[in-house]
Each structure stands twice: as C-alpha cells, then as structure tokens.
Amino acid sequence: MLQRILETEAMDSVLEAEEYDAMDDGGVNERFAEDFIAAGATADWTLDLGTGTALIPLVLCGHLAGVRVVAVDYAGEMLRVARRNILQRGAGDRIVLVHADAKRLPFPDGSFSQVMSNSIVHHLAEPELVFREAWRVLRPGGLVFFRDLFRPPDAATLHDLVERYAGSGTPQQKKMFADSLHASLTVEEVRGIVASCGWNSGRVQATSDRHWTWIARKPAA
C-alpha cells in the first residue's frame, strides 16, 4: 500500500488556483451535484467546505432552483477565481464566499440544513476535525455529503489513474492530480474516522474507481 504523503493544506498560489480552475472536471462536478440531490438535498441553505473556485456550487445552482450556498475556502487565490466565476455566471445572489478554516468554522451550531464537501479531506493532516465541524454546524435532521479521492494501492495504479483522468492536462495539472491521490485516505481510513466520531461507518462507500462518498443524516432532535 502506498504511504500517505500530505499536500499543502491550502492551494494558494495564482498558478495553482488557475490550473485547478482549468482542469476538465465538468463530468465529476455534474455527478457530485446529481448524487447530492439524489441523496436528499433540497433548495435550502447549503454549506460547501473547501469550495475551491466554486465550480460545484455553480453546478448545483443550475440543478436545484432556489438553493443558496455558503462556500468556504482557506485559500484566498481560490476565492479570487471563485468570485470571478460567480460574477461571470450571474450567481452572486445565490453563492456567498467565506474565507475561513473548515476545521474552525465561524458559524454557530446547527446553522445549515445540509453540508457538502468535495476533495477537502485529502488536504488535511487531521481530517477528523473537518468531519466534526461539519456535524456541529448541521441542523438536526440535516444532510451531510462528503466526497474525495481514495489512495491507490500502488504506484502503478496511481500512474494509470493520472493518465486516464489527467493525461490530456498540463504537466502542472497532472502533478496536482498525482499529488492529490498520494495524499488521499483509503476507504478504510475514512471509515475509521467516521467510526471514531461515533457515526455509522457503513455509510462510507467507494463510489468510483477513485472516489469515496460519505452520506449521513444527523438525528432529529
């Protein structure tokens, strides 16, 4: 099994933000939004943790009329590009950007009906902190939907995934994807975190050849 090699927590250079925004993840983002809605997401205030350049909130707004998103990221450069994307799409009345640390959110308990996150976990040395924060700010009965990459078993598999999904990208984009795979948790490691928090680890599943997904509802009060 490959050892986990952490990435920097915040991708906060101009190059990283622009290359990330330009990566061809349209199909992945569409599937995320569709799966989030299929899991029970509604047109209510939604928190997005690690929003990057706000691509998933923009897709979600196109699929779910009336939804409003508070989109959080720790990287100022990502939020700069996100602001540009939101203005270009005319979505400034539906997406609110917040510069904050997802491990220490500036929101009261039970602030949101649903919390989503795509690809934040692999950036964190202590990912359990963001799981607990997501749960804290979720209202009773609310939906949490996390998705991220999982770490391949060996270097050959990692190489194959990079060539399959980033092979047509720039050298920087290929490196970013490879680094993300190397920094990711295994499905069992994610289940261990969920179980350690006292939640049902069976809700963590591999949902593609490179992604895991955690779907849960907070018990109603």
Report residue 116: phi and psi, to 5°: -125, 155
Q: Is the pLDDT of residue 26 over 60?
A: no
Predicted confidence at residue 21, as pLDDT, reads: 76
> Higher confidence at residue 44 or residue 21?
44
Mean pLDDT score of the chain: 94
Domain boundaries, the chain: 14-151+186-217
Fold that domain 14-151+186-217 belongs to in CATH: Rossmann fold (3.40.50)
Residues in the chain: 221
Residue 24 scores a pLDDT above 90: no
pLDDT reported for residue 50: 96
User: Does residue 201 come out as left (phi exceeding 0), alpha (psi in the -120 to 50 range) or beta?
Assistant: alpha
- Reported as a single tens digit per residue, the pLDDT across 160-185 is 999 999 998 889 889 989 999 999 99
How much is the average pLDDT of 54-65? 97
Cα separation, 10 vs 197, whole angstroms: 25
166: CB partners within 8 A, 6+ apart: 23, 173, 174, 177, 178
Looking at residue 161, its pLDDT comes to 97
Contact in structure between 108 and 47 (CB atoms under 8 Å): no
Contacts of 124 (CB under 8 A, 6+ apart): 9, 103, 130
The amino acid present at 77, given as its one-letter code, is E
Q: What confidence tier does 111 reach under pLDDT thresholds 50, 70, 90?
A: very high
Q: What is the pLDDT of residue 13?
A: 75
Q: What is the distance between the alpha carbons of residues 147 and 119, in angstroms, rounded to a whole number?
A: 6
pLDDT of 113 higher than 70? yes
